[in-house]
Amino acid sequence: MKTSVKKIVAIIAAMAMTLCLFAGCGSSDSASSDGPVTIKFGIHVANPAEQEPVTNQIVTDFNAANDGQYTVEFEAADTETHSKNMKLEAEDGTLPDIFWIDASEAPEYAEAGIIADLSGYLADNADIDEALNGMENAFNNGDMQYGLPYQCNVQGFYYNKALFDKAGVDYPTNATTQDEFMEMVNKLNAAGITPISIGSKNSAFAMWPFNEYLTRYGWDNLEGTYNTPEMVKCFEKIAALTEAKAFNDTVATSEYFDAKQAFLDGNAAMFGSGQWDCGACDEALGENVAFWWGPQFTDTDAPQEMAMKVPSAPIVVNAASMEDPAKAAAITAFLNYYYGPEAAATSFAGSIFPATNYADVAATETQYAMNSMIEALGDGWQSPTAAPDQTLSPAVQEALYDAIFGVIQGNYSPADALDKMDAAAAN
């Protein structure tokens, strides 16, 4: 072979290799004009079948019911990766058709015009609007309905009745006060039982029971500043729990999953979480598990009869997908199913409160944790529009998490913690 031919071959090979390098940057569209319309559902867990079995079941049922017409496929990643992916995909126009997004981030997507206004959808589907019973209001910014609740969250403390019995402590009730709670903590400690299991490592978001604290100190009335006398009192109650050694020693080096496991293994009397852990609690503790909102406070004028039954983070619809008639029809069909009575029944069966309310949908006798929640809800108390941590921008939300765990671990005084939130809000 002549040298010039060699050179040409080498140049072609180099170009081919360079092209191959960039081949992975392209995108593919899973929708086909012949087969079923496929829509992508971006979800915040890496393994939906294991970690979100109810949603996985709803999608499986929808696909079976619409075989040949519509298919929903998950685009799954853990919460942090999912959040990053959505931002990157929003920039390059490859967002999934429907996706879960943290409530703190959703308004930015709405402002950027990336997600669809679903008010028309709700107007066309009055039965679903009615079944949502106002839970969708948390995701309406006045200009548009930018999301619908993924589920209904019920947050507070799970407790292990067997450990309370062992320590000779009465079970908490809806009327239990902070002083009584402190007595409980002291008695549990005296019996050698860790009162509350909690973990902050990579999971500062696991502050769910303290959403009730914030609400009962008038979170919804805050105007501009977080360091207020009421909020200082609220954080002082959390600090008092630390002083009373209410938490496990491993707060800093435990993750949420470690803390949950410690509770499920019977190594702690209480665990702050939400309805998504009902199934795990039933499986590990059976009839020994029960649920409590948290204490009432006597040093504030804010309403105390508040139940933390709130919409979870929203699912939102990619505005670009709604411009494609075939995809829009598939998305509408999926939303109809997701917020319909069949999916609500699937949710209840999986110990998850759906975002919708339908008659004749209820938990079974052996769903102990869920029944305890239903019992706690039985007083018919009011609920805030959204959990306090879900009303903030990402930076202030992060500062709230940091503030609460800073007080729990004794690194911040209540006032310092709240100042840090104010500083984050100012930036």
According to DSSP, the residues that pair with 72 across neighbouring strands are: 39
DSSP strand pairing (268-274 vs 152-160): antiparallel
Q: Which is nearer to other proteins, 86 or 376 (CB)?
A: 86
Cβ 90 to other proteins shortest distance, Å: 6
Q: Which is nearer to other proteins, 145 or 203 (CB)?
A: 203
Q: Which is nearer to other proteins, 111 or 299 (CB)?
A: 111
Cβ 104 to other proteins shortest distance, Å: 8
Cβ 263 to other proteins shortest distance, Å: 16
Cβ 122 to other proteins shortest distance, Å: 25
Contacts of 89 (CB under 8 A, 6+ apart): 95, 96
Q: The tokens of 17 are what? A: 């290799």
Cβ 117 to other proteins shortest distance, Å: 17
Cβ 421 to other proteins shortest distance, Å: 12
Q: Which is nearer to other proteins, 160 or 397 (CB)?
A: 397
Q: Which is nearer to other proteins, 161 or 201 (CB)?
A: 201
Q: Which is nearer to other proteins, 41 or 405 (CB)?
A: 405
Cβ 62 to other proteins shortest distance, Å: 29
The H or E element that residue 42 is part of is strand 37-43
d(CA 125, CA 359): 18
d(CA 39, CA 85): 17
Q: For binding to other proteins (CB under 8 A), which residues are involved?
A: 3, 14, 18, 21, 80, 83-84, 87, 90-91, 104-105, 108-109, 111-112, 114, 200-204, 249-253, 255, 393-395, 398-399, 402, 405-406, 409, 411-412, 424, 427
Contacts of 321 (CB under 8 A, 6+ apart): 39, 97, 98, 116, 327, 328, 331
- 36 vs 75, 338, 388, CA distance in Å? 18, 19, 41
Quote the Cα angle for 30-35-38, to 5°.
35
Q: The tokens of 313 are what? A: 């983070």
Please answer whether residues 247 and 200 qualify as being in contact, where contact means their C-beta atoms are separated by less than 8 angstroms: no
Q: The tokens of 364 are what? A: 């079974």
In sign, the C-alpha dihedral spanning 241, 245, 251, 252 is positive
Nearest one of 30, 269, 42, 39 to 170, comparing CA atoms: 269
Cβ 108 to other proteins shortest distance, Å: 5
Q: Which is nearer to other proteins, 7 or 123 (CB)?
A: 7
Q: Which is nearer to other proteins, 289 or 424 (CB)?
A: 424
